Structure 1
Amino acid sequence: MPRTKGKRRRNGQATNQHAKSSDESNESGSKKQRGTHSSDDTRSGLVLTLGEGDVGQLGLGEEIMERKRPAIVPSIADRSVVQVVCGGMHTVALTTDGKVYSWGCNDEGALGRRTSGMHQESVPGLVSFPEHVVQVSAGDSHTVALTDDGKVFCWGSFRDANGPIGLTPDQKKLEIPIKIIDNTSSYGRAVGISSGNDHVAVVTSRGILLSWGVAEQGQLGRIAECLSVRGGRRGLAAILNPGVVRFTRRHGRCPFITNVFCVSYHTFAISSNDEVFAWGLNNYGQLGLGDTTKHFMPGHMTDLPSHNGKKVSLVQFTGGQHHSIALGSNGRVYVMGRTDYGRLGLGEGVEEPHIPVEIPEFQNVKVVAGGGAVSLAVTNEGVAYAWGMGTNYQLAADEDNDVHSPDRMRGKNLEGKKVISISAGGQHTALLVCQKD
């Protein structure tokens, strides 16, 4: 396909992130547990970025428009970064002392700090924050932060098919952090957060799942289809105020949710009994439920994979616009959804799987990540692999061609380094690395 250059948001929309259509040819227990996401390793390291950087999302300055190989983000090289996440066209880093840095497109306030141009947006800047942050997540035009005492703050904006809708019912966008969830809620304190393109989900200490944001594709898991467009007759408050996702009782009780994973337009949740639930956009079978029907309420995944005759627990989910990636407890990777551009890593000419299918001869994986039409993974040895669409240079491959099976990421700045975590945005990739032992 023609090479897609990164572009500044037009009407607040990130290129390659808006996939409301089903046709991607138009794509440009009571145990307290935090979500198992791709940046949960507590070691600190250097931030590397690559891919398209037209709006400053690489953090390398306003003169750097792209990088084919991972480059060190110099202005935070002396910070102890423990998490880095990519939004659609912005990037967020978290340090060991609970400080948040952001860079990239700020048209909708996703950076959480007021800027006056690319010279301030194309390099990391400190987000003024009243709390100690322990986890961050990022979507197309928003960012979320979880504090050490269980509060949730957000900034930026959500966007549906008709344009921006804001983060709260009374504001179009928030340029600085605002508290969305307090730690005194009857639902329990927040212990894990996750962002899709335009929705957010939070797990609480009581095993309850809350969600808010755009509901058009069923991604909230709690809004009926007749109310999914801006809350219908109930208005924006129905979708932009956090609400409880209800699960069908199984064996006489509701599942205790321990982890949540928001993907572009769909969501996965895992219970304390290792049950998997999925909902949202499903036009390519990316929910893994065995069908291609959009689900507005949680569906129970019953076709879990097996290995050597034993059922495999799925412990982590990620993905892109029309595909999903799951990590098994056995360190193997399972995929489902659209196959174009090699994003599933199953090779060329494969059929579209609607239930989790294992990537052959790929094991010892500890982290998976995805975005748009790319997929990423990190092994227990700290080696990063990438596959999928190559036109935005997100894969660190030898060429900018599509890659149809996991391929080791290359670059001078990866030599002698161990990859801790990895994240993919609409057109860029970020890695957290440290020196090999």
Structure 2
Amino acid sequence: MPSTKPSSTRKIQPQEKRPRGPSNNAPRIKKAAQSKFTGRASRIETGTSTSARRKRSLENGDNDQAFTTTPVAVSKRVKTSSGVSKRAAEPEPETQSRSTVINQVPTEKLTVLIFGTGEGGELGLGPGKKEVLRPTLNPLLDASDPSAFHIVQLACGGMHTVALTADNKIITWGVNDEYALGRDTQWEGKLRSIDANSEDNDDDDDDDEADMNPKESTPTEIPSDYFPPGTQFSQDAAGDNCSFALTTTGLVYGWGTFRDSRGEQGFRYDERGKIVKKQARPFYIESLQNITQICCGDNHALALDTGGNIWA
């Protein structure tokens, strides 16, 4: 993800050399001191004692509350609303032509098979299909169809998917309640009530289509004007309700939200120092530079840079 502060990251420094025993080129990651969501970019440290890190944490005024995964009950929705917030002053990265390419774009077109249930549009088949019993080719992502999206890399979150196409598009589908799709999915269509009686539920397929928002259940591109001109993507990643996109020049964009162990939401700080709980569209995370790989857990993310440091 310029006066706006970036989303919370920490960096891992290489392990200190020990006088005995074989050396190890890979940094050893120790469990970081637990802390409250800060919304700031920082580095996870290794080779530092727990007591020292705790002392530094207390000196900085940090809380010991961990920002960890929290299971969230999902209820069936009657209607989805995804208002897109007005763009505030945000840091702008250098244009692609002025930056050094460090990440290669994947080129192999993937065959995407889907199966399972998707009452929130997770299957990416549009509003008319909620269940697939066996692995089935998604026709909207068919690499042999010129009119379909051709996927070269994808990542699945809790109830959404983000994918990179061969023609440099970031597309998303699934549940957008917490802005994990990174685009506007407001829909004025009428949704059937979850309290509808059984005879209403026996209607034909046309009625079934009214259950899901087509703007969520159909794979759709995040508008290219949400990114600087010439931006080329190399990877994407997805958490429970968050998504990230990595560029060939090592920059990172993020959107959606995280939840801490108390269920409180947070993604970043704005220019006034207040927490932005949910990020509706891609946000340039200025503190993450020269990143070569990103990955997500439910409510955390990791990024590896060219120096071998890990940011979290």
In the TM superposition, 1:318-329 aligns within 5 A as: none
Give distance in 2, aligned partners of 1:9 and 1:150. 37
> 1:310 maps to which residue?
none
Kindly state the Cα deviation for residue 71 of structure 1 after the two structures are TM-superposed.
2.6
- Structure 1 unaligned regions, length at least 5: 11-31, 35-39, 212-437
Are positions 1:198 and 2:292 aligned together?
no
Q: Cα distance 1:153–1:173, how it changes in 2: closer, same or farther (>3 A)?
A: same
Are positions 1:133 and 2:238 aligned together?
no
Give distance in 2, aligned partners of 1:141 and 1:9. 16
C-alpha contact (below 8 Å) 2:102/2:250 kept by paired residues: no
Deviations along 1:308-347, whole A, 9 cap, x unmatched?
xxxxxxxxxxxxxxxxxxxxxxxxxxxxxxxxxxxxxxxx
Residue in structure 2 matching 1:47, options 104, 112, 126: 112
Kindly state the Cα deviation for residue 165 of structure 1 after the two structures are TM-superposed.
1.6
In the TM superposition, 1:57-136 aligns within 5 A as: 57-77=122-142, 78-117=148-187, 118-129=213-224, 130=227, 131-136=231-236
Q: Cα distance 1:68–1:7, how it changes in 2: closer, same or farther (>3 A)?
A: farther
Are positions 1:155 and 2:276 aligned together?
no
Kindly state the Cα deviation for residue 6 of structure 1 after the two structures are TM-superposed.
7.7
Kindly state the Cα deviation for residue 33 of structure 1 after the two structures are TM-superposed.
9.2
| SS of residue paired to 1:46 | coil
> 1:427 maps to which residue?
none
Normalised to the residue count of structure 2, the TM-score between the two structures is: 0.52
Residue in structure 2 matching 1:172, options 257, 269, 277: 277
Percent identity (aligned): 37
Kindly state the Cα deviation for residue 149 of structure 1 after the two structures are TM-superposed.
0.8
Kindly state the Cα deviation for residue 199 of structure 1 after the two structures are TM-superposed.
0.5
Q: How many residues align structurally?
A: 178
Give the structure with the larger helix fraction.
2
User: Letter of the aligned partner of 1:67 in structure 2?
Assistant: V
Deviations along 1:68-104, whole A, 9 cap, x unmatched?
1123332333222101211100011111232110000
Give the structure with the larger strand fraction.
1
| SS of residue paired to 2:244 | strand
Kindly state the Cα deviation for residue 47 of structure 1 after the two structures are TM-superposed.
2.1
In the TM superposition, 1:240-319 aligns within 5 A as: none
Structure number with larger C-alpha Rg: 2
Give distance in 2, aligned partners of 1:151 and 1:41. 16
> 1:395 maps to which residue?
none
- Structure 2 unaligned regions, length at least 5: 1-72, 79-100, 143-147, 188-212, 270-274
Deviations along 1:238-278, whole A, 9 cap, x unmatched?
xxxxxxxxxxxxxxxxxxxxxxxxxxxxxxxxxxxxxxxxx
Q: Cα distance 1:145–1:9, how it changes in 2: closer, same or farther (>3 A)?
A: farther
Q: Cα distance 1:174–1:8, how it changes in 2: closer, same or farther (>3 A)?
A: farther
User: Letter of the aligned partner of 1:50 in structure 2?
Assistant: F
Q: Cα distance 1:206–1:8, how it changes in 2: closer, same or farther (>3 A)?
A: farther
Give distance in 2, aligned partners of 1:133 and 1:33. 11
Give distance in 1, aligned partners of 2:109 and 2:177. 30
C-alpha contact (below 8 Å) 2:102/2:248 kept by paired residues: no
Q: Cα distance 1:99–1:201, how it changes in 2: closer, same or farther (>3 A)?
A: same
Deviations along 1:268-324, whole A, 9 cap, x unmatched?
xxxxxxxxxxxxxxxxxxxxxxxxxxxxxxxxxxxxxxxxxxxxxxxxxxxxxxxxx
Kindly state the Cα deviation for residue 51 of structure 1 after the two structures are TM-superposed.
1.3
User: Letter of the aligned partner of 1:178 in structure 2?
Assistant: F
Kindly state the Cα deviation for residue 116 of structure 1 after the two structures are TM-superposed.
1.5
Kindly state the Cα deviation for residue 65 of structure 1 after the two structures are TM-superposed.
1.6
